[in-house]
Amino acid sequence: MEIPLININYPPWLAGAIDWEQQYVGDDDKMAVAILLSRLNVSHGTGEPFGAAIFRSDNGRLVSVGMSQVVRQNNSVLHAEVMAIMLAEQRLQVFNLRVGGQRHELFSSCEPCAMCLGATHWSSVTRLVCGATREDAHQIGFDEGPVFPASYQYLEERGVTIKRGVQREAARTVIEAYAAGGGLIHNRQA
């Protein structure tokens, strides 16, 4: 038997959607990137309503982006945060985002699921900023898994600063539009 390759790719629309050279200043500018990715993912029909971006902490430069690609690529781990983390580590050629003393921030259009919180820990980002809440995703049927207050406390105890609710209304609007358009909830139990 030939061992199949895993091929992960980004939707074609990403090429012209993001200004990779811009210096993003402030949480609102950075969160706007994550929300834009979630909105474009929905409007282009290429995935679920979640986007993420990783920035350098010192200068606001965009390092990577991700958008949920679970259904499009038939891969349950291709959540926005995981996609952004994988691209950041690939671009920087590091196995975590503190190698070499660099510090990075992960902006997610929605509070991460259990898997993505784990990936956040392993990536060694120093800051996690979230838009919509877990309840916003749950309201349309997404099950974010076993996430508890202790999950966030664990990250904070290991040096991750966490900020929630940045542009929550804008992020929630994308989630609600996805539901209104009949978007597939990939982890809904039958």
Asked whether residue 64 is assigned to any structural domain, the reply reads yes
Residues 6+ apart with CB under 8 A from 121: 154, 155, 158, 160
Asked whether residue 49 is assigned to any structural domain, the reply reads yes
Helix (H, G, I), strand (E, B) or coil at 157: helix
Asked whether residue 13 is assigned to any structural domain, the reply reads no
Asked whether residue 153 is assigned to any structural domain, the reply reads yes
Domain count across the chain: 1
Q: Please report, rounded to a whole number, the percentage of residues in the chain having pLDDT higher than 70.
A: 98
Tell me: the pLDDT tens digits for 132-156? 999 999 999 999 999 999 999 999 9
Asked whether residue 11 is assigned to any structural domain, the reply reads no
Can you give the residue range of the structural domain that contains 117? 22-180
143 or 53, which is more confident? 53
CA angle at residue 76 from 141 to 149, to 5 degrees? 60
CATH number reported for the structural domain that contains residue 65 in this entry:
3.40.140.10
Asked whether residue 14 is assigned to any structural domain, the reply reads no
Asked whether residue 151 is assigned to any structural domain, the reply reads yes
What's this model's pTM, rounded to 2 decimal places? 0.95
